[in-house]
Structure 1
């Protein structure tokens, strides 16, 4: 961290999503506006794009005993980015992890707790976007069309399936 991070104490602009492991329907989606005037790279050199100071959304997650991952991704017609603050206070940034200029946050053993989510835009300004939360890697590939069709669930030993 090099500068002041976005304010995770502010209320999320598009609300709070409460989910437990094994939720249905999967994926859970939320229409949002991504972007803002805060340069994500100003607080971490691993982050890119522009976000708002307040989180876009907040996920209250209750982990289960299974082995499914927690996948948070975005879909938009423009280049979007993602900043996630995990329950342990760690920050995660991604630009094109879901392919086709769409970001992806993947936790292989997700902790229960609060995930603050900022959906950014690579360039300044805002854009309409869809926030996707899933446990099934196939739902990410369907939403983004970039992952191997043979991957129904995340296989963290097979790079084509994450």
Structure 2
């Protein structure tokens, strides 16, 4: 292996590590900041709500897709869901401009900013999968804010 080839290989390896770090900044294996719940289709009360502190020091814009907002490394909340025929909808409610980032059971990232109106976010799964939903509630402008995460099957 020539010196030039060795340098090129090292540069490619460094780039791969950097890209992987940016995509995996959020660690769903960490304990959720504000707890977890298991819900089955048809759950009551509906909506299920939890008070959280939105925001953090990690830029959610580094995740795949159209994610935005400042979030924490650990999920804010975790839902283990057994699906039925109803949709599953996650919403934020806050006086601050909040964002929503969800890592679904399929490993994909789902993101929103402002779809619920007035600076609040909403992610809707029309045909939800059974499994774990790791949820981050971010703040659009940074800092932290009090927020409510609402989980419902009745949009």
Normalised by the shorter chain, which TM-score bucket?
0.7 to 0.9
Counterpart-to-counterpart distance in 1, 2:64 and 2:45: 34
Coordinate RMSD, CA, aligned: 1.0
1:7 equivalent in structure 2 = 27
Higher helix share: 2
Larger Rg computed on CA atoms = 2
Matched, 1:26 2:46: yes
**Aligned twin of 1:136:** 154
Conserved 8 A contact 2:65-2:109:
no
Residue 82 of structure 1 pairs with residue 134 of structure 2: no
Which ranges in structure 1 are unaligned for 5 or more consecutive residues?
138-162
The alignment of Structure 1 onto Structure 2 pairs a total of residues equal to 134
Q: Distance in 1 between matches of 2:141 and 2:61?
A: 12
Match runs of 1:98-117 below 5 Å: 98-117=116-135
SS at match of 1:99: coil
Shift of 1:33: 0.4
User: 1:46 and 2:66 equivalent?
Assistant: yes
Using the TM superposition, give the Cα deviation of residue 88 of structure 1 relative to its aligned residue in structure 2, in angstroms.
0.8
The alpha-carbon deviation at position 25 of structure 1 amounts to: 1.1
The structure 1 segments of at least 4 consecutive aligned residues displaced by more than 6 Å after TM superposition are none
What per-residue deviation string (whole Å, max 9, x for no partner) do you get for residues 33-54 of structure 1? 0000000112235111100000
User: What is the TM-score when the length of structure 2 is the normalising length?
Assistant: 0.83
Distance 1:127 1:57 in 2: 15
TM-score (norm 1): 0.80
Cα distance in 2 for residues equivalent to 1:42 and 1:133: 25
After superposition, the Cα gap between the structure-2 partners of 1:45 and 1:136, relative to the gap in structure 1 and judged at 3 Å, is closer
Name the SS for the 1:111 alignment partner: coil
> Structure 2: which 5+ residue stretches go unaligned?
1-18
